[in-house]
A and B are shown apart, each in its own frame.
Chain A
Amino acid sequence: MSPFLRTIFVIARRDFLSIVATPTFLLFLLAPLFMIGVGAIGGAGASQLADSARGAGRIVALVDTGDIEALRAADSRLRDALPRREKPVTLEIRVATPAADPLAIAREKGSDTYAVLSGPLAAPRIVEQEKGSSSGRYLALLAGEVLRDRAAGPLPPVAPRFESIANQGASIAVQQSMGFGAVFAIFLLTLLLAGQAVGMLAEEKGNKVIEILAAAVPLESVFLGKLLGLLGVAILFIAFWTAMAIGGGLVAATQIDPGAIAATGAAGKSAAALVSAPATGWPFFIGIGFAYFVMAFLLLGAVFLGVGAQAGTVREIQMLSLPITIFQVAMFSLSAAASSAPGSRLATIAQIFPFSSPLAMAARAATDGNHAIHLLALGWQAIWVALVVYLSVRLFRAGVLSGGGSWKFWRRAKVVTSAATPAGVVSSQSH
């Protein structure tokens, strides 16, 4: 191992251990648990709310006894063809009696009644909550269905043959949403820790270790080592939660009986998403996604570390956290927009601009089967990591270590002009 790499690892090891070997790290590691908990409670509450709201809604048909069966059959047939979210509310079928008043039924307490059908099926009276509502149209459609069946007599049942094309090519929409998912996941993971890079050198400046480091190793390896240490923490975090997820999945799999799995498989909707793969294939997509995560982390971390190294006080560092978050969100928005429009000019810009490139390229891996382009992108991003670290080090050396004003670049210009003055003083000493 080259001495340069060695020193990077020495620094990274120290940073990694000093972060991981604290009780606060445990809190950090388990934080998503709280988030999941809060999310689960909130989600359960919301879905319950939605369910109860849905359960309370209904449409009512007042028909003759003879029509009830036909109406029910027509309802279940039509319902099947509609997507789950767009199914009409429950249909309540009642026997029409002279006493039954559609208006009174529509106003009955206990449930929302969207529409009530009464009268002969050929000329039904439909009382609806809102003018032109889809509930009203649906009742009219049902009535029409029943009449048409009756007029045509018993038809031979349609025997459709369903063929799935899911295996032949994945849907573009699904791939795009995978791309967006990758962008979002990488963004979340970098948000976790990259922002912390801004305060990393404050520790060394505070306890004066910086001079030992600056004397013993190149500053580049201090910067890279610190980034690597932080990346190690992030990877530990990811590994922990991946392991938890896989473990949880296995436990869940042993709990569920095969019949239930078959049943959900038959339901089919989620299975379709699983069958369709990103354009580059799952293993490559996951691998390259991880590589882009590392790059995004290093790139943003290097910027933040460099900016934070210039800050003089803890207060300045705290003030920096807002612009830093905004910068991250901006990169996310750019890449998210790019992921929804693959091949567009915006996407190309997002893929080339170094700080959004890892996110945007991860999205591209979902929709574009080209493997080689990713090698190019990784190289391009690595160049930028090196460039940012190099510039940060130069600024740090010139500014902080040499005692210049931390933010004041104009100070350096003044030094040059002032060089003439002391020379004059020296010459005047001789006489």
Chain B
Amino acid sequence: MTALTVEAQGLTKYFGNFKAVDNVSLEVPTGSIYGVLGPNGAGKTTSLRMTLGIIDPDAGSSRLFGGQRPQSVRHRIGYLPEERGLYPGMKAREAIAFMGALRGLDWSEGRRRAETFMTELGLERVIDEKIRKMSKGMAQMIQLIGSIVHAPDLIVLDEPFSGLDPVNQERLEMLVRRERDRGATILFSTHVMAHAERLCDRLAIIARSQRRFEGTVDEARAMLPMQVRYTPRGAPDPAVIAAMLPPGAEPRGDAWQFPIADAGVEPLLARITASGHGVAGLSIVRPGLHDAFVHIVRQVDAGFEADARVDALEEAAL
């Protein structure tokens, strides 16, 4: 059992009558990269803000680094908010040093590190440029550097990839991994499954204000059955093939497509071999995180719609 850097229990937040976050818990193991996924408006940002103590939860609590209140360990945290913001009149180097200084880093050390980071990330041209003269993506990279310049133990990034070009996304992934290797714990939110799939050790999926899934990427993918794509040799009678394959198999051109349970793989292979229709193509793959995510979110939405229908029926019955 590894130690937890973030222990947020039962976070709940109302905005007026609307329950934006409902009993969400986040447990982030020390030294891991943890993703928070969810559709727009699910409550990711609100959950992260409560985790960091920027807003107070209506219920639940957040403890960091083994039982400490988030407010008392600010210098060990780095945070990139969803709404990017920098003082436009500041020079990049100063802006980074300023954010470091807020977290207790020495000014001169902050300026030195700013230069190192910016050079590394291909921004050496704008080190002494004012923020207002920068493109949105450049400013975002500056802010990102500013939020990790003090070498924090916990790095929280709210949708860090949005607005970055593919090269910068790549650099950011590199940066995240390097910070993790340095010993930091990283918690980030995103809608881009590809990044989550490549980076995350564990992830949580939040939809409709509640946490709907928690586990590793593989565990998330395992929620969906594997998909088989099978193409027989020659042009056999479709009815014969359909009878051989599990129910639910659909023809797509020459190929057939169907889901299969983990235990059904070997019997299927045996049946195909025995049938003598041959194998012109066969793939058995686990669907990606993308499909797992869509699946989970659809289920939640379907549940809500069903509820709405039940409610409507009940109301009609009254």
- Chain A residues near B (Cβ < 8 Å): 3, 6-7, 10-11, 14, 18, 204, 207-218, 397, 401-404, 411, 414-415, 418-419, 421-422, 426, 428-429, 431
Contacts and interface: CB of A to CB of B under 8 A. Distances in A.
Contacts of B307: 428-429
Closest 7 CB pairs of A and B: A208-B85, A216-B102, A211-B81, A209-B85, A208-B83, A215-B79, A418-B17
Nearest to A398: B56
Which of B22, B74, B89, B102 counts the most A-chain CB atoms under 10 A from its CB?
Answer: B102
A18 B75 contact: no
B16 A411 contact: yes
B103 interface: yes
B76 to A, nearest CB: 11
A208 B16 contact: no
Contact of B102 (A10, A210, A421): A10
Given A14-B87, A402-B56, A212 B75 contact: no
B16 A215 contact: no
Nearest to B80: A212
Given A208-B84, A212-B79, A414 B16 contact: yes
B102 A211 contact: no
A217 B74 CA distance: 7
A3 B87 contact: no
B132 to A, nearest CB: 10
Nearest to A418: B17
Nearest to A411: B16
Interface residues of B, number: 38
Main secondary structure of the interface of A (DSSP, over half): helix
A18 B89 contact: yes
B85 A210 contact: yes
B102 A213 contact: yes
Nearest to A210: B85
A216 B16 contact: no
B164 interface: no
B143 to A, nearest CB: 8
Contacts of A212: 79, 81, 85, 99, 102, 143, 146-147
Contacts of B238: none
A397 B56 contact: yes
A192 to B, nearest CB: 23
Nearest to A213: B102
Contacts of A204: 85
A210 B84 CA distance: 10
B52 interface: yes
A217 B17 contact: no
A4 B90 CA distance: 23
A216 B103 contact: yes
B77 interface: yes
A207 B88 contact: yes
A401 B99 CA distance: 20
Contacts of A401: 54-55
B108 to A, nearest CB: 14
Nearest to A11: B102
B104 interface: yes
A208 B71 CA distance: 20
